[in-house]
Amino acid sequence: MSIKTANQTTLERLTEGQPVLVDCRPAAQAVGLAERTVLHAGPPLAWERACATVQSAICCAIRYEGWAPDDATAADLVQNGDVRIGPCHHQAAVGPMTGIVTPSMPVFVVENRVHGNRAHVTINEGLGKVLRFGANDDAVIERLRWLAREAGPILGAAIRTAGGIDLRALMAQALRMGDDMHQRNVAASALLARRLLGPLARTGADPGALGRVADFLGANDQFFLNLAMAAGKALTDPCRGMADSTLVVAMTRNGTDFGIRVAGLGDRWFTAPVEMPQGLYFPGFTAADANPDMGDSAIVETIGLGAFAMAASPSVVRFVGAGGFADAVR
C-alpha cells in the first residue's frame, strides 16, 4: 500500500472514532493493573534515568499504596524489581505530568465505540501540591486516598447512571467556547459538570460526600484535561499497527525522553532527549529551576487539539503568546 493511501485510511480510522466516557473505577479492575506496579508518563524509563520529579512521585505513590513506609524503602523496592514501573501507554492509559497510576487509584474509562478499545486516565487532582507535579507529602496522599475512597465511587456511579457521556460532542462544543483542550478546559469542565449534575444527584450518596465531590469537580477549570487525554488515547490506539502509515499516533515525555510512536511501526518507541519548554515562570523562578518537559498530555496534540487548536482559543493565545500551526513551523 502506498504511504499516502495508508495515511488516508489511518486518518479516517482516527477521525471516525467515538470516545464515550463509560465508567470510573480502580485501575486494578479497569486496566487489570497488577499489584506492585506503578505506571508513569512517557516512553519506557529506567529508574536510574528518571528525573527527581518522577522519582519523587513514584515514591509517593508507593507510600500511598502502603507498599513502603518511606521514600528510601520505596526507591529500594523499585531498584530491586519488587515494584515494577512502566509507561501508562503500555496499559491503555495516559497520565498528565508524572502520569502516575497505581492499582487502587480510580481511573476514568473512555471507550471508543467504533473500535471497541478503551483508554484510562486518573481523576485530575486539582491544584496545589499534587502527585502529577511530583509533590510527595501526607497532604498529597490524603487527597489521593479521598479520590479512591469517595470521589471515584461517586463519579463512577454517576457516569454509569448517565449511560455514558459522548466526549466527542462535548469536546466539539467546548472548542467553540474557547477551549484549546490542553491549556484551557473551562468550557469542557463546565459542560461536563452540567451533564453530570443529574446523574450525581441520583447516586443517592450522602449529601456531605456528594457536596465534597461536587465542589471538587466544580472548582477545577482543568478537570476535563484528563478526559481529553483519555479520548485522545482511545482515538489513537486503533491507529497503531496500521501498515505503511507514517501518522504519529503518540507523542509523550517522561521528564528525560521525548517519545513518539508511528502508526506503521507498531509498538516501537522513537525517543530523543526531552526539551526544556519555553514557559512563563512565577516571579523569582527561571528555567534554571525547571524540570524538562513531561506528561502524556501531548496525546491531545496528537489528535490535532491543544497547541494545534490554540489559535481558536483567544485567552490561551494572549496568555502563552503563541500563534497557530504556521507560527509553530516558523
Rule CB under 8 A: which residues touch its own copies?
173, 176-178, 186-187, 189-191, 193-204, 207-208, 210-215, 217-218, 314-315
Residues paired with residue 118 on neighbouring β-strands, in sequence order = 111
- In this structure, the strands spanning 19-26 and 165-166 are antiparallel
| Complex with its own copies: residue 178 or 241, whichever CB lies closer | 178
- Looking at the Cβ atoms of 199 and 255, the one nearer to its own copies is 199
How many CB atoms within 10 Å of residue 132?
22
Angle formed at CA 45 by CA 43 and CA 47, multiple of 5 degrees: 160
Which of residues 117 and 313 has its CB atom nearest to its own copies in the complex? 313
Give the residue with the Cβ less far from its own copies, 204 or 273: 204
Task: Find the shortest distance in angstroms from Cβ 12 to its own copies.
Answer: 28
Which stretch of DSSP H or E encloses residue 255?
Answer: none
Give residue 168's identity as a one-letter amino acid code.
Answer: R
HSE-CB at 310 with a 13 A cutoff on CA atoms is: 20
Cβ proximity to its own copies, 114 vs 190, nearer residue: 190
- The three-class DSSP label of residue 110 is strand
Cβ atoms of residues 192 and 224 within 8 Å: yes
Q: Which is nearer to its own copies, 294 or 310 (CB)?
A: 310
Min. distance of Cβ 20 from its own copies in angstroms? 18
Q: For residue 20, which of 297, 222, 224, 234 has the smallest C-alpha distance?
A: 234
User: Which three cell numbers mark 73?
Assistant: 524503602
Task: Please report how close the Cβ of residue 204 comes to its own copies at its closest, in angstroms.
Answer: 4
CB of residue 138 vs its own copies: minimum separation in angstroms? Answer: 25
How far apart are CB 193 and its own copies at their closest, in Å? 4
Helix-strand-coil percent breakdown of the chain, rounded to 5? 50, 15, 35
Considering the complex, what minimum distance in angstroms separates the CB of residue 154 from its own copies? 10
